Copies of this chain bind each other. A is one copy, B any other.
C-alpha cells in the first residue's frame, strides 16, 4: 500500500486542506494519507481552536487515513526542528512520499535552492550572523542573508512562509538521505496570513479563526469554507464547552506563571534568551491582558511567533534542559486516529516499524509523551469549568478516533 505523508495542524480543517489531500494522492498515486499533526499547541505558539482529538476527527472525515501526533518538543519549535520531527515521523511511518503546499509549487527549485545554499554555506552563515547582530529577528536575518547571496533563477523565494517550511522539509530529507520522496503543490487561492475571506471556497485558516472569534459574525459565516464534518464538529465543541481556545483564556495562567517563577528559572525555559526574563517578569506585573502584554513585549529582535512560542513554553513550563533531552529524535508514533483503510495500513506497518506505535497512553512512557500529556492537561484548564476541563483532558481515556470510510 503506497502512502503519502502530510504535515498539518488543521486549525481548523478546511477546503484548502481537502484540496491538498486530493492532490497529494493524485500526484503520488498513494492510496493512504498519513498526517503528522501538531497536538494542542501549534508551531506558531498558539493553543489550537479545539483539541487534537476533535481536529483528528476533522482530518479523518476530510480524507486523511492515519493521524499521528507530532510531539510538543518538535511541534512548538522553530521551522527546522518542526521539520526534523515531522519529516522523520512520516518517514518512520513508512510514507513513500511527503507532499507539502508551497508558494513556489516547484520541487526542483527546492533542490536547487538546497544545493545553492550548500555551496554558499560559509557566506550564508556569516551573513546570517551579521544580520542577527544588527538586531534582526531570526527569520528576517535568514531571508536577508539569503538575498545577499544574489540567488539566481530556479531558486525559491525564502521570504514566503510555506516556502520556508517546505525548504526545511526538503533539507531534512536531503541531510538524512531519506528514501521518502518530496513533492510540492502550489498553494491554492488563499495566502497563509489572509485575514479576510476570498470569494473562492478556499479561505485561509487565519480568516476562518478570525470569523470564529468575531462577535459580529455568526459561526455559520464560515460554513462555505469548511466541509460539513468540520462545521458540525466546531459547532458541537462550542456548544459543549462554551469557547474555542485562544490566548486570552490562558492569560491568567501565563501571568501567574511569570509571577511565580524567578528570573533565573525563566532563563531555563525553552527559547528564553538572556535579557528577556526581566522584561517578561515586569510586564506580567504591569499588563492586564494578553494583547497588551504581547504588544509591549514585541521588539524588532523577536518575531510575534517566537514570542508566542516562548509564552507557550512558559505556560507548559517546558525547559531547555528537557527539550535538549527529548527533541533529539522521533522515538514513537502516537496514534490519534484512523480510518478503516488506515487500520489496514497500520496492521502492516506494525510488522516492521522500527519504533513503538502508541495507541494507549497508559501502556507507554517516554519523556516526550510526558510533555504532551502535560500540555494536553494545561490546554484543558483554559476552560474554567472543572467538569469541562476533565471532559477534554482525554490523555488516558480516549481510544484512537476511528472513522469508517
Q: A260-B316, A316-B260, A317-B261 are contacts. A285–B377 as well, Cβ < 8 Å?
A: yes
Q: A289-B386, A386-B289 are contacts. A256–B259 as well, Cβ < 8 Å?
A: no
A126: interface (CB < 8 Å): no
What residues on B are CB-neighbors of A384 within 8 Å?
A: 252
A25: interface (CB < 8 Å): no
B259 in contact with A260 (CB, 8 Å): no
What residues on B are CB-neighbors of A288 within 8 Å?
A: 386-387, 390
A260 in contact with B374 (CB, 8 Å): yes
Interface of A is mostly: helix
Q: Digitize A373-395: 1 where CB-to-B-CB distance is under 8 Å, 0 elsewhere.
A: 01001100100101100100100
How many Å lie between the Cα of A381 and that of B156 in the bound state?
49
How many Å lie between the Cα of A94 and that of B315 in the bound state?
46
A278: interface (CB < 8 Å): no
- How many A residues touch the partner, as a band? 20 to 34
B285 in contact with A381 (CB, 8 Å): no
Query: In angstroms, how far is the closest chain B Cβ from the Cβ of A315?
Result: 8
Q: Digitize A286-297: 1 where CB-to-B-CB distance is under 8 Å, 0 elsewhere.
A: 001100000000
What residues on B are CB-neighbors of A261 within 8 Å?
A: 317
How many Å lie between the Cα of A259 and that of B288 in the bound state?
24
A253: interface (CB < 8 Å): yes
Q: A260-B316, A261-B317, A317-B261 are contacts. A255–B381 as well, Cβ < 8 Å?
A: yes
A323: interface (CB < 8 Å): no
Query: In angstroms, how far is the closest chain B Cβ from the Cβ of A66?
Result: 28
State which of B252, B378, B387, B390 has its C-beta within 8 Å of the C-beta of A260.
B378
Q: A381-B252, A384-B252 are contacts. A259–B374 as well, Cβ < 8 Å?
A: yes
A257: interface (CB < 8 Å): yes
Sample of 28 A–B contacts (CB below 8 Å): A252-B252, A252-B253, A252-B381, A252-B384, A253-B253, A253-B256, A255-B381, A256-B256, A256-B257, A256-B378, A256-B381, A257-B260, A259-B374, A259-B377, A259-B378, A259-B381, A260-B315, A260-B316, A260-B317, A260-B374, A260-B378, A261-B317, A285-B377, A285-B393, A288-B386, A288-B387, A288-B390, A289-B386
The 5 closest A-B pairs by CB, nearest first: A288-B386, A260-B317, A259-B377, A253-B256, A256-B381
Further contacts, 19 of them, CB under 8 A, given A253-B253, A256-B381, A260-B316: A252-B252, A252-B253, A252-B381, A255-B381, A256-B256, A256-B257, A256-B378, A257-B260, A259-B374, A259-B377, A259-B378, A259-B381, A260-B315, A260-B374, A260-B378, A261-B317, A285-B377, A285-B393, A288-B386
Instruction: Mark A residues whose CB is within 8 Å of B.
Output: 252-253, 255-257, 259-261, 285, 288-289, 315-317, 374, 377-378, 381, 384, 386-387, 390, 393
